[in-house]
Amino acid sequence: MQDIYNLRPETCSLFEDILNTGLDLRVRATGKSMVPFLKGEEVITLKKVPASSLHRGDLIFFKDRYGSLILHRIIRKRKSGSKVYLETKGDALIAFDEPVHADDVLGKACGVEKNISGEKTRYRDLTSGFWRSINLLMALISLGRSKIYEAILSH
């Protein structure tokens, strides 16, 4: 397992190659941008999926324009001509990321493992109906928080 932030370019390429071959990739989340959903130290299972299967609420693993790897939530999905763009942000953040082209998505988070005490591990299957609903709700809450913040700043 590898922490997903501050990676060397060759490690980023290796992650991309692993996901592009159809293998799952397990990485440890270290940042705080996804609090409260991810608090850090969770192990995320990532899978390559078709862009057409990505939905609002999904946690996606993507490379930003600086080459950094990021795990954030899809807040909106937009089409511009034949291209699909995803608006993403961390749950703990107010601002949106720059739009992510669907082709820049390396994978989707399909599972989260968290050590809860000693040897016990809790597993969340993010592909289950329950967690898909929770993730959609988290996306809507996150969008609402950003809209409220923008409204306060504009007055």
Kindly state whether residue 89 falls inside one of the protein's structural domains: yes
Kindly state whether residue 155 falls inside one of the protein's structural domains: no
Kindly state whether residue 102 falls inside one of the protein's structural domains: yes
Give the CATH number of the domain where residue 131 resides.
2.10.109.10
Q: Which residue has the higher pLDDT, 110 or 7?
A: 110
Kindly state whether residue 67 falls inside one of the protein's structural domains: yes
Q: Does residue 155 register a pLDDT over 80?
A: no
Q: What is the pTM of this model?
A: 0.89
- Given the structure tokens 């928080």, which residue do they identify? 145
Residue 56: both structure tokens together: 């609002």
pLDDT in tens, 37-79: 998 889 999 999 998 899 999 999 998 888 888 999 999 999 8
Q: How many domains does the chain have?
A: 1
Which domain range does residue 88 map to?
Answer: 2-148
pLDDT tier at 2, thresholds 50, 70, 90: very low
Q: Are 1 and 26 in contact (CB under 8 A)?
A: yes
E-strand spans in the chain?
2-3, 25-28, 43-47, 59-63, 69-80, 83-89, 100-101, 105-117, 120-125
Q: Give φ, ψ of 7 to 5 degrees.
A: -90, 150
Cβ neighbours, 10 Å, residue 133: 11
Kindly state whether residue 153 falls inside one of the protein's structural domains: no
Q: For a pLDDT cut of 70, what percent of the chain falls above it?
A: 95
Kindly state whether residue 77 falls inside one of the protein's structural domains: yes
Kindly state whether residue 154 falls inside one of the protein's structural domains: no
Q: Does residue 103 register a pLDDT over 90?
A: no
